[in-house]
Structure 1
């Protein structure tokens, strides 16, 4: 039941936006009774938080899968960027995250929750980035470059419905790959997933 409510919340965020993600819509989509949510979540905010946390975990796992699915070759960096664009930033889960991020600009409670999740997400991505890649010089921070990539791809995804030519995105991704290749390189022989951080089995938003 708990997962059904979270799945319904995700679906509502994707199709209705944050404003349209009401308890009425959620219970209707989950096909449960009006009182069902209170048995699992003390408030709508708690349900939104549980959904957001699951989304952050999902994105982290998908990024890892995108990396592990690549051959250990010189083009691994380019393939990683392209896979991340297709399998992470082009998904319904990312669309739901975008709805929460945009809504948090005008909702202090939501903003506080998203800030906690952003902090946990930063540590997740930083650990994975340093596991797979290494800098070409001492001045470069692999985690910071990966966060910059996340911001770039997120901005591109936000404009996706306005852009008619996929080639424009392909060209932009290629340029970004060239910039990244001048700063970092894949670690040779790394074919294992990154270790899960200590807080993975706890509530991310509570960090």
Structure 2
């Protein structure tokens, strides 16, 4: 293989790695300083790169945030689906799915990143268009998932057809709402109690 082709591929890989580094730094900065205060300087500092790096790869702050939002939402979507794939093989798929989704995603740093994007979009028409498009794509994927014939809870439960997409979409909305109040200092037990109630309602819905 010609050396020039190898060099181009290596440069492309370096460029992709730099973009990913900038995206991760942007998501971290969104949590720490918020969208309104976010600047290229914050991103540069967190990423440990030169001041010209962001503008070399992204034409504007909006372009950088769009790339970061797209990476985050696609990552979250993949994670939601993977959690379900594991949960549906358990004795309590709805319970395992909801508890894992809450603990590992929405009550975690990624959930805070998502909340900041949602808040910021209320005050930025440009960001509203970006986040709306990405969530529409994500929700479409979720709602088109086929129903799953599995148990609604406990080994003694009868097999049921669970509308996976609807359950996922409702759960993401529910947990995004709970995550809004985590910073207010309520005990983890309170959120877990409401999570138990949510799981019970989903089981009842699946049993109809």
Report the TM range for the smaller structure's normalisation: 0.7 to 0.9
CA distance in 2, matches of 1:117, 1:146: 16
CA contact (8 A) 1:13 1:99 kept: yes
**Structure-2 change in CA distance of 1:53 and 1:23 (3 Å):** same
The runs of at least 4 consecutive aligned structure 1 residues that moved more than 4 Å come to 131-137
CA contact (8 A) 1:62 1:87 kept: no
Q: Does residue 156 in structure 1 map to residue 173 in structure 2?
A: no
Cα shift at 1:152: 0.9
Which residue of structure 1 lines up, in the alignment, with residue 187 of structure 2?
Answer: 165
Structure whose alpha-carbon radius of gyration is higher: 2
Which residue of structure 1 lines up, in the alignment, with residue 125 of structure 2?
Answer: 108
Which residue of structure 1 lines up, in the alignment, with residue 41 of structure 2?
Answer: 24
Q: Which of 53, 73, 83 pairs up with 1:56?
A: 73
CA distance in 2, matches of 1:40, 1:73: 44
Q: Give the structure-2-normalised TM-score.
A: 0.79
Q: Deviations over 1:157-180 (max 9, x none)?
A: 110122432221111111111111
Give the aligned CA root-mean-square deviation in angstroms: 2.3
Cα shift at 1:141: 6.0
Gaps of 5+ in 2: 1-17, 153-159
Matches within 5 A, 1:1-207: 1-70=18-87, 72-128=89-145, 130=146, 132=148, 142-184=164-206
- Name the SS of the counterpart of 1:42 in structure 2: coil
Aligned residues: 182
Question: Comparing both chains, which one has the higher relative contact order based on Cα–Cα distances under 8 Å and sequence gaps of 6 or more?
Answer: 1
CA contact (8 A) 1:88 1:94 kept: yes
Cα shift at 1:12: 0.3
Cα shift at 1:184: 2.4
CA distance in 2, matches of 1:152, 1:133: 23
CA distance in 2, matches of 1:163, 1:148: 24
Cα shift at 1:131: 5.4
Deviates more, 1:62-71 or 1:94-103: 62-71
CA distance in 2, matches of 1:57, 1:75: 26
